[in-house]
Amino acid sequence: MKHIELSPRLRAVAELVPSGTRFADVGTDHAYLPVYLIQEGIISGAVASDLREGPLDRARQTAERYGVTDKISFRLCDGLDRVAPEEAETIAIAGMGGETIAAILGAAPWTKLGEHRLLLQPMSALPELRSWLQKAGYVIRKERLCQEGKTIYTVIEAGHGEMPPLSPAECWAGRQDTCAGDPLRPTLLAHLLRRVERALTGIRQSARPEDIPWKDELEQVRTGLIAMQEEETK
Ligand SMILES: C[S@@+](CC[C@H](N)C(=O)[O-])C[C@H]1O[C@@H](n2cnc3c(N)ncnc32)[C@H](O)[C@@H]1O
């Protein structure tokens, strides 16, 4: 049987899945991730959920094509609504906006019981997701980066636990210690710094009082990112 190939983004998620774990993939779409993990012998089975029929049908087709249908339980549901806490030790929520990921976790408070490893791969709103995780009682244990073309993707490994509040720059880029040693970290910091400088160029010219807090926050992000860059090059 042919083996499935993962994109660098999904491979970065797969690399954080421990061998033998009970696994759930939320928003599975084509089910590439669980099928890969089963084919590689990393897990023996999985729950694969999606909000919509179309993606879940695609998931079933992939499983069929690679001969692993009997190893995956398919669930049509919003987030983790039809996944029981004991069915998964490791939960991947990948390829969605940060707000959607937060909403899925918020609707499943059992993910905070301390027994679940959460692998989160947001496509947008990373600062909002990191800040939400801290306030909601999750700890970010590590972050891994990968690159596809010019885009750098982040995978966040989180679980239940206390995490001190994040600075504005840490919300944007993650904490230095959780991202330590990632070869793409300098590229990410340079990329974020360019983005914040662009946003500041516009907002520095604004005379609107309501822009002042946003400008102050962006200045703090900029200062924090520069400090991180300096620390990286030490
Ligand atoms: C862009 S695809 C990502 C597929 C795969 N996880 C990946 O990373 O390549 C996003 C999938 O998430 C599903 N989705 C969006 N919101 C969801 C929710 N609240 N619960 C479950 N699935 C959701 C969509 O239907 C879609 O199939």
Ligand 1 centroid–CA 27 distance in Å is: 3
Express each pLDDT in 24-78 by its tens digit.
999 999 999 999 999 999 999 999 999 999 999 999 999 999 999 999 999 999 9
Residue 103 CA, closest ligand 1 atom number = 19
Cβ atoms of residues 49 and 76 within 8 Å: yes
Determine contact, residues 27/13, Cβ cutoff 8 Å: no
Q: Give pLDDT, residue 39.
A: 97
Above 90 in pLDDT, residue 99? yes
Residue 226, exposed/middle/buried by CB under 10 A (0-12, 13-18, 19+)? middle
Q: What is the pLDDT of residue 210?
A: 87
CB 90 within 8 A of CB 21: yes
Tens-digit pLDDT profile for residues 167-217: 999 999 999 999 988 999 999 999 999 999 999 998 888 888 888 888 999
pLDDT at residue 163 greater than cutoff 90: yes
Residue-level pLDDT at 49: 98
Q: How confident is the model at residue 18 (pLDDT cuts 50, 70, 90)?
A: very high
Q: How far is CA 119 from the centre of its chain?
A: 6
83 DSSP 8-state letter: -
Let me know: does 174 contact 154? Beta carbons within 8 Å.
Answer: yes
What are the φ/ψ torsions at residue 117 (nearest 5 degrees)?
A: -95, 125
Tens-digit pLDDT profile for residues 1-12 = 788 999 999 999
Q: What are the tokens at 7?
A: 């994109």
Atom of ligand 1 nearest to the CA of 7: 9
pLDDT score for 19: 98
CA–CA dist 24, 52 (Å, integer): 16
Residue 226, pLDDT score: 97
CA-only gyration radius of the chain, Å: 19
The rounded Å distance from CA 232 to ligand 1 centre is 34
pLDDT at 14: 98
Ligand 1: residues with CB < 6 A are 10, 26-29, 49-52, 55, 78-79, 94-96, 100, 104
| Residue 26 alpha carbon to ligand 1 centre in Å | 7
Atom of ligand 1 nearest to the CA of 25: 6
Non-local CB neighbours of 99 within 8 Å, separated by 6+ positions? 125, 128, 129
Mention every residue, 6+ apart, whose C-beta is less than 8 A from residue 12.
121, 144, 145, 146, 153, 155
In this prediction, residue 46 carries a pLDDT of 98
Output the CA 74–ligand 1 centroid distance in Å: 13
Query: Among 32, 49, 51, which is best to mutate for testing ligand 1, by the most ligand atoms less than 8 A from CB?
Result: 51
- 3-class DSSP state of 136: helix
